[in-house]
Amino acid sequence: MDVSQYLEIFLDETKEHLQNLNTRILELEADPEGTDTINEIFRAAHSLKGMAGTMGYKRMQNLTHDMENVFSEVRNGTIKVKPEMIDVLFQCLDALEGYTENIQNSADEGTNDNEVLIKALNDIMKNKNGDSAVATDAADTSNKSSAAGAVSSSGDIAVKWDGISLDDSQVSVIKAAKTQGKNVYGINVLIQENCILKAARAFLVFKAVEELAEIIVSDPSAQDVEDEKFDRDFTLIVISDGSLEAVIKAAEGVSEIEKVVGAPIVLENNVHYKEMAVVETEEPKEEKQSSPKADVAAAGAAPAPAKNETKKQTLAKPVVNRTVRVDIEKLDSLMNLVSELIIAKNSLVSVSSQEQQVNTNTAFNEQIEYIEQVTTNLHESVMKVRMVPIESVVNKFPRMIRDLSKKLDKKMELYMSGEETELDRTVVDEIGDPLMHLLRNAADHGLESAEVRAQRGKPAVGSIFLDAYQDGNNVVIEVRDDGNGIDVEAVKKKAIERGSITAEQAVTMTDKEIINLLFLPSFSTAQKVTDVSGRGVGLDVVKSKIESLSGEVEVKSKLGEGSTWTIRLPLTLAIIQALMVVVGDEKYAISLGSIQTLENIPPQDVKLVQNREVINLRGTVIPLIRLGDVLDIENRKSKEEDLIVVIVKKGDKRAGLVIDELIGQQEIVIKTLGRYIKQCKFISGATILGDGEIALILDTNALI
């Protein structure tokens, strides 16, 4: 049976198990004796191993197998949990994540065996009570090897027969065959991706090859191949009187075979490249090697093809699409609403076909109202389907803080709340990096070193808080620390040094304005640059990312007591409530979220300050922006008429947009302007109105 259809489920569940393992191992570190935790870890590792095995990911299976062994010993109490062991285990999880990523991108786990990690695990098993210096040492190098492995992990099938472990009898058979003057070849057969009956094709290949040669080794074993327990390729070692070409041709003769590669086996010599011959049966696919010629050439320089392929593979589209897991109940309610919609449609049809004209109008209106109600509910339900808890993003942070704590040599603890808060899927995907950045900042710059904390009478362990909650139509995420807070004077000094502001400006600026300077590109106040943070790329990226999600970020800080970063995000991006306005003869939409009030202003109330039009609204001076001028439209209104002003806000700033006419509030679906229109100031998108016309959505943030 073809397992590729289970790939999505496999990836989903693997990620879940990995996350679970991460959390549990963290728990284990805190409480090395927790039996429940150990049991849970063991179960997760075991399921992971089983799944990887079923899907034919051998390397992943091996690694998890060895991990499971360690857990099993821990469970039996023969190994004590040690910090070094936890480190190795975390590295194993990273390696497993690497496999998963490879699989997601190419449906192949890659060729990184992570032998160093496996060795480290085995060492743990061996020195059950001894020192594990070896293990950490080994694990350290494993990082490098996994990095190197990632480069070469490309599913390079050419040398697979070198990786087959031969037992003594097989070796002697090969040797005997060679002395008899027979040829021994290694052959790798790659089956087409879309092939449905892989086992059958493989069987035919076996048969075809057996006519010419004797198969002595098969990897996976003949039985596994028959049961379709292999990915897309299998490797054979055969003894033949005939030429290599003949054997390859025979294998190629079977349909749905993408590629057959072969070379004579040289037992003593691992380097086969020189004699390798590649014959392709089909037009190569895009991500595969381009031509046989290139292959032979590339084979001469061993590392070259691997690099090439990796490059191509990273360009290729991931084989698995992004998915959202949906509660059955949500789907059911969707189904119900759709059926109601159909009923409503049918009623409309029947109303319009009724002959009496008298009743038609009221009946018609009734149905319209009904449809309106159904579509509103439908919208809500669909939105709910798109909502996912931010849990999936924030769950990786405890592990990150743990690693940071070790790296920075500061004691710290992360407290999270509101992980269940739901946000639109697209937002959740994007929010991870900015949050990570703020947390790193808090850990690196925010929290003081142990000595300083002791001096200030703070607890030795620094606290970082991550709180999420819903607030009306927004979701608020706060990152808080009890560290040093932002040193306004230091920021001011730095800003003057860098020429961002002048000394005179600095005097008049409020603390808040100064703190906001931090969001300028390349502004970092860290005294020393660490590899955790302090390179000055960051806060501006955080800000632009959040703003691209139509959110806001704010910071409050008190020197010596800590700082709070507040991110405010809209619940959803696709559909918003908007105010429709008319300027000249064009219609525009303004997001209701950014509107504060609507005002009628008599023309004589407009004053000039520094040659800019302002109004004094209940004590606040607000600059006026005449939309007609900004958007190159002629205003229709005469100068004597009252101005209709939409007061919009961006953070603490206000501005009054002068429009010609109000249409009203409406729910609009946001569409992009397409990639052809790359940059369009003032316009954040478009929406399609009821009559099929398009109205542009004003980006008020860009206007203020």
Partner 1 sequence: MELSTNTETGLAVKEDNSSIETAQYIVLRLGEEQYGINIQSIDNIVRMQTITRIPKMPDYLLGVINMRGEVIPVVSMRLKMGLDKGEITKQTRIIVLKLEQEGNVGFLVDEVKEVVTLTSNEIESLTYQSQEEKSGLISAVGKHNGELISLVDLNAVSLEGN
Binding site for partner 1 (CB under 8 A): 586, 630-633, 671-683, 686, 688, 692-696
For residue 626, the minimal CB distance to partner 1 (Å) is: 13
For residue 657, the minimal CB distance to partner 1 (Å) is: 14
User: How many CB atoms are closer than 10 A to CB 277?
Assistant: 16
For residue 474, the minimal CB distance to partner 1 (Å) is: 26
The tokens for 221 are 């074993």
Alpha-carbon span 40 to 37, nearest angstrom: 5
SS3 of 253, please?
Answer: coil
Alpha-carbon span 239 to 232, nearest angstrom: 23
For strand 422-424 and strand 694-698, is the pairing parallel, antiparallel, or unpaired? unpaired
SS3 of 31, please?
Answer: coil
Nearer Cβ to partner 1 (317/325): 317
Nearer Cβ to partner 1 (423/695): 695
For residue 691, the minimal CB distance to partner 1 (Å) is: 9
Backbone angles phi, psi at 287, to 5 degrees: -85, -5
Catalytic residue among 46, 377, 599, 661: 46
Catalytic residue among 188, 441, 484, 701: 441
Nearer Cβ to partner 1 (369/585): 585
Q: What is the dihedral of CA 417, 419, 424, 430, to 10 degrees?
A: 90
Q: Three-state secondary structure along 363-390?
A: HHHHHHHHHHHHHHHHHHHHHHHHEEEC
Nearer Cβ to partner 1 (26/633): 633
For residue 669, the minimal CB distance to partner 1 (Å) is: 9
For residue 109, the minimal CB distance to partner 1 (Å) is: 31
Q: Is 79 exposed, middle or buried (0-12, 13-18, 19+ CB in 10 A)?
A: buried
Nearest to 580 by CA among 670, 664, 701, 689: 664
CA separation, residue 98 to residues 3, 20, 59, 123, 329 (Å): 21, 16, 11, 22, 34
Handedness of CA 532, 535, 541, 542 (dihedral sign): positive
Catalytic residue among 20, 22, 40, 68: 68
The tokens for 676 are 């052809």
* DSSP string across 285-349: PTTS-S-HHHHHHHHHSTHHHHHHHHHHHHHSPPSS-------HHHHHHHHHHHHHHHHHHHHHH
For residue 589, the minimal CB distance to partner 1 (Å) is: 12
Nearer Cβ to partner 1 (472/692): 692
For residue 695, the minimal CB distance to partner 1 (Å) is: 7
Alpha-carbon span 265 to 162, nearest angstrom: 8
Nearer Cβ to partner 1 (551/685): 685
Alpha-carbon span 443 to 577, nearest angstrom: 38
Nearer Cβ to partner 1 (304/669): 669
Rounded to a whole number of angstroms, the distance between the first and last alpha carbons of the chain is: 60
Residue type at 311 in one-letter notation:
K
Alpha-carbon span 71 to 35, nearest angstrom: 11
Alpha-carbon span 289 to 312, nearest angstrom: 9
- Tell me if residue 68 is catalytic: yes
Nearer Cβ to partner 1 (420/693): 693
Nearer Cβ to partner 1 (93/686): 686
For residue 98, the minimal CB distance to partner 1 (Å) is: 31
Nearer Cβ to partner 1 (196/677): 677
Alpha-carbon span 157 to 303, nearest angstrom: 13
Give the full edge-to-edge strand order of the sheet including 694-698.
661-669, 575-583, 586-591, 694-698, 683-688
For residue 283, the minimal CB distance to partner 1 (Å) is: 17
- Tell me if residue 39 is catalytic: no
Placement of tokens 């730095």 in the chain: 494
- Tell me if residue 33 is catalytic: no
For the chain, what is the total number of helices (H) and then of strands (E)? 25, 23
- Specify whether the CB–CB gap between 279 and 252 falls below 8 A: yes
What are the residue numbers of the active site?
46, 68, 441
